[in-house]
Each structure stands twice: as structure tokens, then as C-alpha cells.
Structure 1
């Protein structure tokens, strides 16, 4: 393992992001759903400090500007952008700096690599120059192609991977996580609820009783169980949540106080996710 790539210590509620080298709450906030600026400020008061932002996330822009204005070094601003060419990436980054009134982005994520964004020499060279200029601290991507993500984790300039990982789709455990040790990039998980397929009732499902010490009326899973399943995996630095309102945000944030799942609980959640996948072949479908 090369210097600077040592795996950072994690507890259930916080960790230090590699490359960016900032302590972060392990539940990041995605601003493209139902939150408004006051919700962002409230979340920051509770300890949230990882903000997923994009040029279209207009509802939360003022809230993010407010919290980073108070203490920029405390917060991680992760831009979800896109670019097939280097000039598009630079335009996106510099436009974001103006909109957010900040000197740098902690990470610029090439969105949906292979579909909406390209990973070619012109793009990579531009991202490296932006790092040298101090306009971004890390290079990231969101990617659905797990095998390609595994190859890039082994050998690329990418510092952070935003990946799909949940009880319905645990394939990162085979395709990505075994390849992280060499460079130790950051791993940000999203879709913890599998587009709510894990939390909606599913007819005709037969599961054994919940194995935890406290009885739970499951299935379906609660959102908290979905997030705990993800955060229990030691390879995941943080999970994103995209609540529709303040009440959902409060409930999701409370997950961090509940701690990791036991091995038996994780196995139960995984078994239920397997049943959901067998019944719900397509994602996004209710």
C-alpha cells in the first residue's frame, strides 16, 4: 500500500474521507429531492457535512451556501456534474464555484460514467489541472458498471466512487470492494432503499422472524434498516439520503445512533433483498 492510501478509521457515525482528508458524517445529504434551505441548515446543526449538489439542485443552493460560508473547511461539497470533453468539465466546475460562492469543490463527480460522462484523456487531464489549481480537491464518479468500477478502483485517477449498493443490489461486494485495498478510494453509496422497493410491502413473502433482540414488524424493511445494512459494511465511507421532507430527514439521521447490524441481522436483510430482486426485476418500479 502506497503512502497516503492507508484505510482511514471509521466508526458507525463518522469517518475521514481519503484524499479529501476531512472528517465526515457517514450520512450525506442529496439535495435533489424535497429539502429546502432551512432543512440544510438544520441538518448541518445535527452534524451533517457532506452535501451532494448539482447545477439543477436549486432548492438547496442557498442553504449549502449558508453552511459553507460559516465554516468552509468543515464541509464537503460534492458536485455531481457531467462532461464528455474537458472544456465541459471546466465550465461545470467554474460555474459551480460562482454559484456556491466558494473557492473550491471537495470533489467533482463525473455523473453516470459511460453514459452521461466520458473518462478519456481530455477529461482526465482537465480534472488533474483543476486539482493542481486548487479548484477541486478530488476526482469522483458515479457509475453503474460495477466491473468497470472495480478496474478503475485498481488503477485510475479517480479518488471517490459513488456506487449503487443495497440489500437488493449487493454486487459491489464481489465486483468493487475486493479491489479497493490497493489505492483506498472513498466509497459513497446511494440508492440504499432500492428506489423504495425494499420498504414497500411485497405480497406473498415468507420470512423467518427478525433475529434482533428487539422485535420489529418486518418485512418490508424500514428505511433505517436499509441505511444500517449499507453502513455496516466497512468498505462504505458514507451513504447518501434523499429525503422528501424534514420529518424523513430526522428519521433517517437517527439511524446513525442505532449502530451496525449484527451478522444475523445483516443476513436477514440480505435474504429479504434477494427475494425483492427475484420479484422486482426492474428498478424504479413500484
Structure 2
């Protein structure tokens, strides 16, 4: 059984990161984040909702040892002129000199060249070290991977939806990763917005899996480097951490997650559709 507690190198960046990252979508107290960092989680994702408590946690854990954590800031902006001010404000609030990643969020078509140029200028200024992109258009990643393999991609990592309900990346994404020089791959929405842990959404007679098994599902795929969690409180954070101790799913556990995922996929529409989804199988 693999050890999910062992940090990995994220793509070609040289950054060692935990297999579990923490996002800022919910309202966890900064002490929850600080405790998780003390327990080995070193990837912090300050998303589109830049919660003040999350910013305080970043300041606290990075104080005195900036390299202790890998910090990502996200921007959904489509206006190139707004990108630098957004990142500069975030740096001041977090009291950091740089972010390890700037994530350009939700690009289902290629980002405009002017926006990529603005992101590259932030790299040249030393305000961000690497660029990442997220998308709901899974098939589009194949072109980015070809660019990455020949050294022509501005992005060092990619973030995509992958969980027991939405498994389309197993056809559209993972088989197309370069065999040797590959980018970092991060998965999010591991619980499918809580649906995978909701007793009301289970097949008849099936108890819901614990959240840890949702994170284990994503991390059990060999092409997933990291999975993000969005804890609302200490209990949810500690539950996510238990995934690292439990390790990858057994074949029986994996079959169960597939069965539950298929049931949910056929009955409950996603909040955001994925380009590449196919009916009736999971996408």
C-alpha cells in the first residue's frame, strides 16, 4: 500500500507538497489551518473567496519560514489589466513576497494571450513562481499536455474535477499525460459538493462513505498528485487528514465508490457541467 503521507514533487516545479491541500472556500478558523500544517499539510489554496481567516493562517504558518508552505492564489479575472493588482493586493494581505502558484481559474477555452502575458510578467517580477490553470473542459487538456511535453506551455500544473461521480478524466485526461515529463495534476470537488456523503442520495440500503474515502478515491489514481479539501471546521479537517493515514482504497472499497458514484451521476445534476461528459456513464 502506498504511503499517502509521503510528500510528492508537483510536476516539474521542484516543489514538495503534501498529497492533501486545503482550500479557502469555507470559513474554517485559522487555528484549524495552522494545526493541519503542523500535521503535515503544506499546500494552501487561497481561492476566489479570499477568506480573511485563511489569509491570517497563511501569515502565521509562513512567518519565519516561507518555504514551509506552498501557497496558491487564484484569479477568475478575464481582464489582463486587473490581474496584477489582484495578486499584489493578495500578497499584501498575506504578507508574502511571492506566491508559489497563480491559478487562472475556469478556462474552458484557452486564456486570452493578453492575460497569459500579464501572468508571465508577474513571474518575471518574482511575485509568482509558477502558473496553473483549471478547466471544466477536460478534452482541452490534451492540447496543453502536448505543449507542456515540448516545453511550450506557460502552465506547470492543472486542476480538474475528479471524484467517484465524475470519472471522465480516466478517459479524457489521464491517458494523455506525457509519459516522462509531466505537469502537476490536482483534483477538486472530491465529495461532489457533499453528495457522496449524503445519506439521502445513496442507493437503497447503502450507507454513505465517510469523507476520507472520497479523498482516498482521488488519491488512489496514480495520475493524481494532490486532492483539495475545503473544511468548514476542525472535524472536517481532521476527517480529511485521516485519508492520508488510511492509504489508497482497496479493490472492494473502490467498487463501492463506483457503485455510489454511478447512482448519484444518474440522478443528481452537477452544479457545473463538464465538457466531455457522456451519457449514461459517469463523466
Structure 1 spans left out of the alignment, 5+ residues: 1-9, 208-217
The answer to whether the 8 A contact 1:160-1:188 is kept is yes
Where in structure 2 are there 5+ consecutive unaligned residues? Answer: 148-152, 273-283
Equivalent residue for 2:154, pick from 148, 152, 157: 157
Q: Output the CA distance in 2 between the equivalents of 1:30 and 1:203.
A: 25
For residues 132-186 of structure 1, the C-alpha deviation after alignment (integer angstroms, 9 at most, x for no partner) is 2221111111211111233223323221111110000011111111222164111
The secondary structure found in structure 1 opposite 2:97 is: coil
1:91 and 2:80 correspond: no
Question: Aligned with 2:199: secondary structure?
Answer: coil
Candidates 197, 200, 209, aligned match of 2:198: 200
The one of 34, 39, 60 aligned to 1:41:
34
Distance 1:168 1:244, change over 3 A: same
Root-mean-square deviation (CA, aligned residues, Å) is 2.1
Deviations 1:224-265 (A, max 9, x none): 111110010111111111111111111211110001112332
Q: Distance in 1 between matches of 2:154 and 2:15?
A: 19
Residue 136 of structure 2 aligns with which residue?
A: 144
Q: Which residue of 1 aligns with 2:220?
A: 232
Shift in Å, 1:204: 7.5
2:185 aligned partner? 187
Runs of 4+ in structure 1 deviating by more than 3 angstroms, as ranges, are: none
How many Å separate the matches in 2 of 1:103 and 1:280? 43
| Aligned partners of 2:161 and 2:188 also within 8 Å | yes
Q: Does 1:108 align with 2:102?
A: yes
For residues 122-141 of structure 1, what are the alpha-carbon distances to aligned partners after superposition, in whole Å with 9 as ceiling and x for unaligned? Answer: 11122222222221111111
CA distance in 2, matches of 1:203, 1:45: 35
Residue 127 of structure 1 corresponds to which residue in structure 2? Answer: 119
